[in-house]
A and B are shown apart, each in its own frame.
Chain A
Amino acid sequence: MNARLATLVLRRIGAALCSLLFVVVAIFVLTAALPGDVADMLLGQNATPDATQALRHALHLDQPLWLRFVHWCGGMLQGNAGNSLLTGRPVSEMLAPRLYNSLLLAGATTLVAVPLALVLGLACATWRHTVFDRVMTVLTLGIVSVPAFLIATVSVFVFAVQFRVVPALSDIRSIHSVGQFFLTFAMPVATLASITMAQMIRMIRACMIDVFSAPYMEMAVIKGVPPIRIMLHHALPNAIGPVANAIALSLSSLLGGVVVIETIFNYPGLAQLMVDSVMSRDVPIIQACTLLFCMTYLFLTTLADIVALASVPKGRGA
């Protein structure tokens, strides 16, 4: 890796950190703008003005916003994300098991979705405008246009209620063997993978077709290079940049953007925690979750950019 590439990468990471800071401040301001605070939410319908005020004072919510933000930043710099306003437990303690669950689901989905999407995307591009391509196009467009909750609910109804082959809820405590792991994750992973794969296949197909239309590809065909070699040696290396970006964009939503799936399968992940915390105005948790989602997103897109940069011969300095 040469100095030029290193500078590019460092600049890219710097930009990512700036976005992170912006998001954190924005979230703090936005949560403050929401109607009500955690004291209102805790007392709910049973609130009286004096009780709410007293509770607010006990939770230090009567401090000005900037002071709370400074306290929070100070804590974060020391690696302390604070305590949940609702439960009083440390944020890290509440986040850790949820993060584990979310990573498990996202990891399993990635393992299924990425190789399949790559193979199918390449196949579509190779045999473009054939019956196979048309069928795949209709399928992927169909899946992209159907909302996730419908796919999930219908598949639960068919496979869990009617045929009873998989459980309707994904209870990870019930996993004691590899078989049980597959049964428990079958439905949520299948649903999530089908949605992310559909997007990826479409994008990979488009990237590849773009590359196939280049003059040097025509040259290769005329030269008599076998199709599989054209695909792997001539087309794919030139499409890595856009393909990596397409995959990163599809995967980045797997951690925080799967509320619907988590709700339907009653899977305790980060997205559900985030929604709960917004509902109860538990700002420290909202902040920590946002930070995590934002970091994941930036990590994946930055990684894709670096892969893209590294894959360009000019960038490699070759």
Chain B
Amino acid sequence: MRGGRAPYGTTGALGRRQALRLAGAGLVAATLPARAGRACAQDAQPRRGGHLNFAGLAASTADTLDPARFALATDYIRGHMFYDGLVMLDADMMPRPALAERIESDDLQTWHITLRRGVTFHDGAALDAADVVYSLARHKDPAVGSQQRVIAQEMADIKAVGPLEVRVTLHGPNADFPSMLGIVSFSIVRDGTTDFSRTNGTGPFICTEFTPGVRTSGRRNPNFWRGPAPWLDSVDMIGISDDMSRHNALLSNDVDIIASVNPRLVRLLRARGFGVMESPVGTYTDLAIRLDEGPGRSQDFVTGMKYLFNREQVRDSVFLGFARLGNDQPIPPEHRYFAADLPQRSFDPDRARFYLQRSGMMEAGVPLVCSPAALASVDIAVVLQYAAQQVGMSLPIRRMPADGYWTEYWMKTPMGFGNTNPRPSLDMTFALNFASGAPWNESHWRDPRFDQLLLAARSQRDEGARRQIYHDMQVMIHDGAGICLPAFTTSLDAFNPRVRGLAPSQAGQLMGYDFLSHVWLADAPGGAA
């Protein structure tokens, strides 16, 4: 351990309480990754061996092995298959050390990353600081086309300061920097890699086939640093975008796990003996009303629209109950920083009518822009349109094609739906989606006090104080921003009963996309490990 720096924690399994205290200032390696232990604890002793077929929701020529270009859940799963990040997020979205043994900082602005010793890439080369510098810095190059370029630009300087030590200097203090490294896109590739038609990572599987739009296959990496995982000998991953075909493939035993189960088929699958896992991920579909143009300039209109949302109906009839109620702020109820005392806004046609009449927009006929691109937004729009009829307002629905929705319509119309995936930390959610200059500030909401609180939280080491700040920020979004957030979706994924070791995670679909390194087969030939 370095002298004089971050005297937090010792090695040993991190309890949750201890980890919470550490979150602000640094991470220390645990001998046993907490999630792996927990996931397998539900079942008997894991068995080694066997082959697993997985069918995700999408496969196209846009499939990639380049972490910078990961965009879809299937990409994230592929990323976890072949690569590792410096940090991984556990089932409670807490950052845990992965390829980094320690991430420490005195001032929360300059971060020292000490890499795990003895980790090797699939080609046998040892992981060193140059790989990490290359993997992180390439996101800043516009020609790479990184999905995370905006986030990566927070890193002002990335430098190797030893064979296994990297120093990252940020533009300003940010206590949540370790969480940021938990994004799958920041997975570590070999220094100088430009050809991503094959992989050379450190992850649990070694790529044996990758054909974009068709298939990704891997075999067990015998030198995986997080051994004895993975349990499976080999894995095949395909994408079946057609809903019925995906379910049929599971029912006919052609595949063992499918992602994105249709809520209407959950009962049928369970009746036939298949398992359906419900993961409380923080993905939400929201209506964003632009505050800088159109009817949203009237605060009354925005308030009226928020009261017009029948959230219970959205949860029960659109998501068939597989969702949690939203409260017009982006933090889901199971998150450790969730503002539980914030009163739940509910459907109130009388108040809605009052505010909408006062805004003078009852007859304006502002269209609701929705699209299959934003999950369930078309159905939510219909629920909202019905509620509007009840208060005497006409609300035309404009359904746009999924193709090109994000570039052509999202955030460009006065009132339209968006869909946002959870980010690893609250800081990122607020900074990217709600701060005044945020690139994806859907409602174009500006509040200088919110921006100040964001900066204050970043340099705040005290857990209690941070909690209070984040609480206040949720209240501000709930009251001020132009987003109406009816529900958080639950990820539904189904599996053959012979698949064991799955556990729900807040970090995303299928154990934060990392299920392949955890699951094992009850009928595996290898016997108990």
Of all chain B residues, the one with the shortest Cβ separation from A84 is: B61
B212 touches A87 (CB 8 A): yes
A35 touches B252 (CB 8 A): no
Query: Which one of B61, B148, B244, B408 lies within 8 Å of A86 (CB-CB)?
Result: B61
What residues on B are CB-neighbors of A168 within 8 Å? 245, 248-249, 251-252, 254
| Distance to closest chain B CB from A176 (angstroms) | 16
A156 touches B242 (CB 8 A): no
- Report if A160-B248 is in contact (Cβ < 8 Å); known contacts: A263-B241, A273-B213: yes
Q: Interface segment, B89-97, B105-113, B399-407?
A: B399-407
- Report if A39-B145 is in contact (Cβ < 8 Å); known contacts: A48-B439, A161-B251: yes
- Report if A276-B62 is in contact (Cβ < 8 Å); known contacts: A164-B252, A268-B214: yes
A47 at the interface (CB under 8 A from B): yes
B10 at the interface (CB under 8 A from A): no
B147 touches A87 (CB 8 A): no
Query: Which one of A58, A84, A169, A282 lies within 8 Å of B145 (CB-CB)?
Result: A58
A128 at the interface (CB under 8 A from B): no
B60 at the interface (CB under 8 A from A): yes
- Report if A167-B238 is in contact (Cβ < 8 Å); known contacts: A40-B407, A44-B147, A94-B61: no
Tally chain A residues at the interface, Cβ within 8 Å. Answer: 49
Docked pose: A285 CA to B419 CA in angstroms: 30
Docked pose: A276 CA to B403 CA in angstroms: 11
B242 touches A97 (CB 8 A): no
What string of 1s and 0s marks CB contacts (under 8 Å) between A71-87 and chain B? 00000000000001011
B407 touches A54 (CB 8 A): no
B453 at the interface (CB under 8 A from A): no
Query: Which one of B211, B255, B404 lies within 8 Å of A268 (CB-CB)?
Result: B211
What residues on B are CB-neighbors of A39 within 8 Å? 145
Interface size for chain B: under 10, 10 to 19, 20 to 34, or 35 or more residues? 35 or more
Of all chain B residues, the one with the shortest Cβ separation from A89 is: B197
B245 touches A35 (CB 8 A): no
What residues on B are CB-neighbors of A87 within 8 Å? 61, 64, 197, 212
Of all chain A residues, the one with the shortest Cβ separation from B214 is: A268
B458 at the interface (CB under 8 A from A): no
B240 at the interface (CB under 8 A from A): yes
B528 at the interface (CB under 8 A from A): no
B211 touches A264 (CB 8 A): no
| Distance to closest chain B CB from A158 (angstroms) | 10
B245 touches A45 (CB 8 A): no
Using a CB-CB cutoff of 8 Å, which residues 342-375 of chain B contact chain A?
none
A48 touches B408 (CB 8 A): no
What residues on A are CB-neighbors of B44 within 8 Å? none
Query: Which one of A58, A265, A272 lies within 8 Å of B142 (CB-CB)?
Result: A58
Query: Which one of A44, A51, A57 lies within 8 Å of B150 (CB-CB)?
Result: A51
B69 at the interface (CB under 8 A from A): yes
Of all chain A residues, the one with the shortest Cβ separation from B194 is: A88
B410 touches A264 (CB 8 A): no
- Report if A167-B407 is in contact (Cβ < 8 Å); known contacts: A55-B142, A276-B213, A279-B60: no
What residues on A are CB-neighbors of B238 within 8 Å? 169, 266
- Report if A272-B242 is in contact (Cβ < 8 Å); known contacts: A55-B143, A160-B248: no
Could you tell me the dominant secondary structure of chain B's interface residues? loop
A167 touches B149 (CB 8 A): no
Max chain B Cβ within 10 angstroms of own Cβ: one of A167, A263, A268: A268
Query: Which one of A263, A264, A276 lies within 8 Å of B61 (CB-CB)?
Result: A276
A177 at the interface (CB under 8 A from B): no
Max chain A Cβ within 10 angstroms of own Cβ: one of B150, B253, B403: B403
B71 at the interface (CB under 8 A from A): yes
A157 at the interface (CB under 8 A from B): yes
What residues on A are CB-neighbors of B410 within 8 Å? 45
What residues on A are CB-neighbors of B242 within 8 Å? 263-264
Docked pose: A47 CA to B404 CA in angstroms: 12
What residues on B are CB-neighbors of A41 within 8 Å? 62, 407
Max chain A Cβ within 10 angstroms of own Cβ: one of B62, B146, B147, B253: B62
| Distance to closest chain B CB from A284 (angstroms) | 11
A280 at the interface (CB under 8 A from B): yes
What residues on B are CB-neighbors of A266 within 8 Å? 55, 238, 240, 245, 249
Docked pose: A42 CA to B69 CA in angstroms: 7
| Distance to closest chain A CB from B22 (angstroms) | 29
What string of 1s and 0s marks CB contacts (under 8 Å) between A19-46 and chain B? 0000000000000001110011111111
A153 at the interface (CB under 8 A from B): yes
Query: Which one of B211, B212, B406 lies within 8 Å of A45 (CB-CB)?
Result: B406
B143 touches A272 (CB 8 A): no
Docked pose: A240 CA to B45 CA in angstroms: 70
What residues on A are CB-neighbors of B241 within 8 Å? 263
Query: Which one of A51, A89, A285 lies within 8 Å of B149 (CB-CB)?
Result: A51
- Report if A282-B61 is in contact (Cβ < 8 Å); known contacts: A46-B148, A263-B245: yes
What residues on A are CB-neighbors of B145 within 8 Å? 39, 42-43, 51, 55, 58
Of all chain A residues, the one with the shortest Cβ separation from B249 is: A168
- Report if A153-B245 is in contact (Cβ < 8 Å); known contacts: A46-B150, A55-B142: yes
Docked pose: A263 CA to B245 CA in angstroms: 8
Docked pose: A171 CA to B240 CA in angstroms: 12
Docked pose: A164 CA to B252 CA in angstroms: 7
What residues on B are CB-neighbors of A48 within 8 Å? 149-150, 439
A35 touches B404 (CB 8 A): yes
Docked pose: A189 CA to B423 CA in angstroms: 45
What residues on A are CB-neighbors of B146 within 8 Å? 51
Query: Which one of A57, A167, A272 lies within 8 Å of B213 (CB-CB)?
Result: A272
What residues on B are CB-neighbors of A47 within 8 Å? 406-407
What residues on B are CB-neighbors of A42 within 8 Å? 62, 69, 71, 145
A34 touches B240 (CB 8 A): no
What string of 1s and 0s marks CB contacts (under 8 Å) between A164-179 and chain B? 1001110101000000
Docked pose: A97 CA to B213 CA in angstroms: 12
What string of 1s and 0s marks CB contacts (under 8 Å) between B52-69 and chain A? 000100001110100001
Docked pose: A317 CA to B146 CA in angstroms: 67
A277 at the interface (CB under 8 A from B): yes
Using a CB-CB cutoff of 8 Å, which residues 384-433 of chain B contact chain A?
403-404, 406-408, 410, 419
| Distance to closest chain A CB from B187 (angstroms) | 16
What residues on A are CB-neighbors of B150 within 8 Å? 46, 48, 51
| Distance to closest chain A CB from B85 (angstroms) | 18
A279 touches B254 (CB 8 A): no
Which B residues are closer than 8 A to A by beta carbons? 55, 60-62, 64, 69, 71, 142-143, 145-150, 197, 211-215, 238, 240-242, 244-245, 248-249, 251-255, 403-404, 406-408, 410, 419, 439-440
Q: Besides A43-B147, A168-B254, 6 other CB < 8 A contacts?
A: A46-B147, A54-B142, A84-B61, A169-B245, A266-B55, A266-B245
Which 3 pairs across A and B sit closest by C-beta, in order of nearness?
A54-B142, A58-B143, A276-B60
Which A residues are closer than 8 A to B by beta carbons? 34-36, 39-48, 50-51, 54-55, 57-58, 84, 86-87, 89, 94, 97, 153, 156-157, 160-161, 164, 167-169, 171, 173, 263-266, 268, 272-273, 276-277, 279-280, 282, 285
User: 20 pairs across A/B with beta carbons < 8 Å?
Assistant: A35-B408, A36-B404, A36-B408, A41-B62, A44-B147, A51-B146, A51-B150, A54-B143, A58-B142, A87-B61, A87-B64, A89-B197, A156-B252, A263-B241, A264-B245, A266-B240, A268-B211, A279-B60, A279-B403, A280-B62
